[in-house]
Structures are given as structure tokens and as C-alpha cells.
Amino acid sequence: MDYKNLVRNCLKGNAEAQKYLYNHFAASMFGVCYRYTKSVTDAEDVLQEGFIKVFNNLHRYRHEGELQAWMRRIMVNTALTYLKQNKHYSSELSYEEINLHPVSSENPVITLQAKELADLIRQLPTGCQTIFNLHAVEGYTHVEIGEMLGIHEGTSRSQYARARSIMVGWIEKRNENIKQRRYAGK
């Protein structure tokens, strides 16, 4: 796909090109939005708002990186704004700096499917979920996360550690339940 030509046609107001751009990237961008929200409806709202921003700012895309990466960043920022502005999320969006025991470097045996892991991440408290996604999934550093969310780098680190600790606990419990069911079935 010639994205340079696609972007040029979108900027000229070509409705077919705009529709193609939306249809081509909507599913993957929906996945980004859904990682940060707690419902399909909210993710759809973020996706629509994000695409409005994409089309309004397409003239700023300089073809210096992948178009999808540029759009992903817009979707992430749109999701963060949505979380901050939505009363339901903003009340859950707390970033307390907490001291946790370090998470063991020994990871539990993980036999999760991607959907199971995504479902676990979505069950985290909103603040932990957001930071976990930004760091573990999107690859932002804790310094960048701190700047994006207006928090200290240490707060981002502690929230990530908390999210990871919760996830490890859930996975260990899940694995133990599986072992018990197997043992009971013998």
C-alpha cells in the first residue's frame, strides 16, 4: 500500500481514500482504544474521536515513520484524554506513589492465550491498567509516561510494579486452580 499517496488523497478530500484509510486501520486502532477502556462502547467512542483527530491532523504527518505508528500515538493520547474527562474513569484514575515489595524475577509458568491476558489487564484498576498498557504494551518509558499523565516517574514505576504484582498473583492463582482441577479429575 502506498500510504504517501493515500494520505495525499485524503488531504484532497477524496472520500474513498478517507474511507479506505479508516477501514484499513480501524480494527487495529480499536484494539488500542479497547486496551485503555472498560467497555466496547467506550472504545468505540475513543476510536471515533481518535479518527477525527487523525483526519484533522493528517496534514502534520511527515511520512518519517509508519503511518500506523503515528495513528497509534493519536489513539493512545485520545484514550488518555477520554479517561481523564470521563467521570466514570476519572474517579478510578488514581496514581498513588506506593512502596511495594519487588516482584520476583521468577515468572509463573504462563500458559495464557492473548485474549485471556488482555482480559486480565482490563480487570486491573484503571490507573494500573493505563500505566501497564503504556509501558508493557506500547513501550513508553516511565519518564514519558510521567510526562503524558502529569505524574512523577517514580509513581509510574510503582503503579507498573503494582499492576505486575496483581497480574502475577492472578496468574499464579489461575495456574493453581488448573492444577487442582487436574488433580481432582484423576
CATH number for the domain that contains residue 146 = 1.10.10.10
pLDDT over 90 at 112, yes or no:
no
CATH number at residue 81: 1.10.1740.10
166 lies in a domain? Answer: yes
27 and 85 share a domain? yes
99 lies in a domain? Answer: no
Say which residue, 1 or 112, is predicted with more confidence: 1
Q: Which of 55, 90, 125 is the last residue of a domain?
A: 90
Residue 3's pLDDT is 93
CA atoms within 13 A on the CB side of 62: 1
CB 126 within 8 A of CB 88: no
Domain region containing 13: 3-90
Distances (CA, A) of 43 to 12, 88, 179: 29, 14, 35
62 lies in a domain? Answer: yes
pLDDT in tens, 12-36: 999 999 999 999 999 999 999 999 9
Per DSSP, helices labelled H in 86-152 are 87-90, 114-123, 126-132, 142-149
pLDDT over 50 at 107, yes or no:
no
Say which residue, 109 or 56, is predicted with more confidence: 56
What's the average model confidence in pLDDT over 108-121? Answer: 69
pLDDT bracket for residue 90 (50, 70, 90): low
Q: ∠50-32-87 over CA atoms, to 5°?
A: 65
CB 29 within 8 A of CB 51: yes
What's the average model confidence in pLDDT over 145-163? Answer: 93
24 lies in a domain? Answer: yes
**Cell output for 10:** 485524503
